[in-house]
Amino acid sequence: MSKNDGQEESYAVANALAYGGEILPRPMRSDEASLSQLGTQPLGTCSWGENNFAFVGYFEPCIYIGKLSSDGSLIELEAIRWVRYGDQLHRIFPPNAQPGEANRGQTVSPGPEGTLIVSCNASRTFYVLQEPEDLGDYWRCVRQFDLPNYPIPGFRHVHAALFTVGNLLVMTSAGDLNQPWEIGEYAHQNGASLVYEAHVQRE
């Protein structure tokens, strides 16, 4: 058996387990798709405007900001690796965000006035990062806030977040593989004064 045969067999087994025994066809690569190598384990991908996007490079760790041309080709990509907190520079998040300063990003969303709102691995604390005014300077944290407790006990690990003009949607888990993930909706004003508003029912 060749290496490729083994990969195909493993894919078929995993596919069958995931979809209750139904074998789904492997997606085919389209010749029309524009593909670019962007980093390792991207998380929290978001977009705004016509061609701007950002995502977390979990294992880098860093936050990538990119721009696409009208035909979908990548024309610009920069990485935020250091952020200024007061007069100190830290690798994306402050040392107390995660033990051992092993910072791992989880979510990123566009915020008001050109900011990015980010959170680290499963945390309920969000950091508002401001783009530097001078070329070559560092992004800086201008504010941080904590998400109120989710009304369902135990569901405190944040895995995804989407900020809009007046609402914040978050996907949370209890850290238990036997429990489904939940989606909660919060009202906010520019990332401040977060108030739990509603539970989004699953289908």
pLDDT tens for 172-185 read 887 777 777 878 77
What is the pLDDT, as a whole number, of residue 138? Answer: 94
What is the pLDDT, as a whole number, of residue 133? Answer: 86
Q: Which of 36-50, 52-66, 73-87 has the lowest mean pLDDT?
A: 36-50
For the cut 90, the answer to whether the pLDDT of residue 92 exceeds it is: no
183-186: long-range contacts, CB 8 A cutoff, minimum separation 24: 184/150, 184/151, 184/155, 186/147, 186/148
Mean pLDDT rounded to a whole number for the chain? 75
For the cut 50, the answer to whether the pLDDT of residue 150 exceeds it is: yes
Q: Of 66-70, 99-103, 159-163, 188-192, give the range with the top mean pLDDT.
A: 66-70
**Token duo for residue 18:** 């995931």
Q: Is the dihedral of CA 43, 48, 50, 52 positive or negative?
A: negative
